[in-house]
Amino acid sequence: MIDIPLDRIILTFLTISVRVTGLMLFAPFFGSMAIPPRVKAAFVVAMSFLLYPALSPRLVSVAPSHWPTLVMRELAIGAAIGIATNLVFDAVQMAGQVLSTQMGLSLASLLDPQTQADSTVVAMFHQTIAILIFLRLDVHLWLLHILSRSFELLPPAGAFLSGDFAMATVRAGGSVFALGLQMAAPVFSATFLTGIVRGLLGKASPTMPLMLLGPPIKTLLGLAVLFAALKYWPSMLDRFFQSSSELSNRLLLLAR
């Protein structure tokens, strides 16, 4: 009679599925609210079944009393991989919100299918272009590769979340402002200079109807610069996504 270690099988499948779930909850595209929960659950189960044969021999034995801690660690690892890439989309969203105010389009809002929250038109435009570039560059496949590699660097139940891991995750959040500023810089500079020129013209010729002409000019100029800057978005976002991939690998090394 063959003795099947049922507890070991359950533990292996649990650790794999929890780490995949962390990625599905926080990664861009995979964690979109537009994807039905049943589809996400089916994806988690399918990925767990595919990874199980390769990861089962590497499992570290863990007592049942330590399972809650194990689940939290595995979920944190998957979430860290997803959040590292999602920082790029947070920067895209922030740039869109700032430019909406600069261009006078902050009052127009739409429902964001990614988060099911109201967002400005420019931010929605940014998000749509970013997700198309994300798929065109196959970054979603990068994420799956990083996820599978994470099991080689950090075998199930073998991760240790140190203080360096937590600090690196917190510091990564500060990169959102730097990335968002780089994306918003061309349009922000153009609209800012427009305001300066309008102020100088108002001083030179007080009779000019600048209060009426200023907002339309700023909006049209901002849109023109935005559309012109789209040419450089693929290379810029490719660089951002590569940086997020390096950040994911660094976080995995800190958790060893």
Per-residue pLDDT at 224: 92
Strand partners, 112: 117
Phi, psi of 107 (to 5 degrees): -80, -25
CA-CA distance, 232 to 123, in Å (whole number)?
18
Are the C-beta atoms of residues 233 and 129 closer than 8 Å to each other? yes
For the chain, the average pLDDT equals 82
| Position 58 confidence tier, pLDDT thresholds 50, 70, 90 | low
Residue 219 has pLDDT above 60, yes or no: yes
* Separation between Cα atoms, residue 237 and residue 179, nearest integer Å: 10
- Adjacent-strand bridge partners of 109: 120
Query: What is residue 165's predicted lDDT score, i.e. its pLDDT?
Result: 73
Q: What is the pLDDT of residues 25-43, one digit of tens each?
A: 888 888 888 788 899 889 9
Higher pLDDT among residues 256 and 105, named by residue: 105
For 9-22, the pLDDT digits (tens) are 777 788 788 889 98
Residue 245 tokens read as 């991939």
Tokens of residue 66, six digits: 């330590």
d(CA 194, CA 177) in angstroms, rounded, equals: 24
> What's the pLDDT tens digit per position in 118-164?
778 888 899 889 999 999 999 989 898 888 888 888 776 666 666 77
How confident is the model at residue 60, as a pLDDT? 60
pLDDT in tens, 222-252: 899 999 999 999 999 999 999 988 888 888 8
The tokens describing 200, both together, are: 């100088």
Give the closest residue to 141 by CA, choosing from 234, 29, 15: 29
> What pLDDT sits at residue 95?
92
Tell me the residue length of the chain: 256
Q: Is the pLDDT of residue 1 over 60?
A: no
Strand, coil or helix: what is 115?
A: coil
Instruction: Pick the closest to residue 82 from 45, 56, 44 (CA basis).
Output: 44
**DSSP codes, 122-149:** HHHHHHHHHHHHHHHTTHHHHHHHHHHH
- Cα of first residue to Cα of last residue in the chain, in angstroms, is 39
DSSP H or E segment with residue 185: helix 163-204
Q: What letter represents residue 126's amino acid?
A: H
Q: 179 φ, ψ to 5°?
A: -65, -40
Q: How much is the pLDDT for 251?
A: 82
Most confident region among 113-117, 183-187, 213-217 by mean pLDDT: 183-187
Q: Which residues pair with 120 in a beta bridge?
A: 109
- How far apart CA 26 and CA 53 sit, in angstroms, is 26
| Structure confidence by residue, pLDDT tens digits, 170-211 | 777 778 888 898 999 999 998 888 888 887 777 777 777 767
Residue 192: its pLDDT value, please? 87
Q: Which residues contact 31 (CB under 8 A, 6 or more apart)?
A: 24, 25, 82, 86
Which pLDDT does position 2 carry in this prediction? Answer: 46
The Cα-based distances of 11 to 19, 20, 125, 148 in angstroms read 12, 14, 43, 18
Nearest-angstrom CA–CA distance, 56 and 50: 11
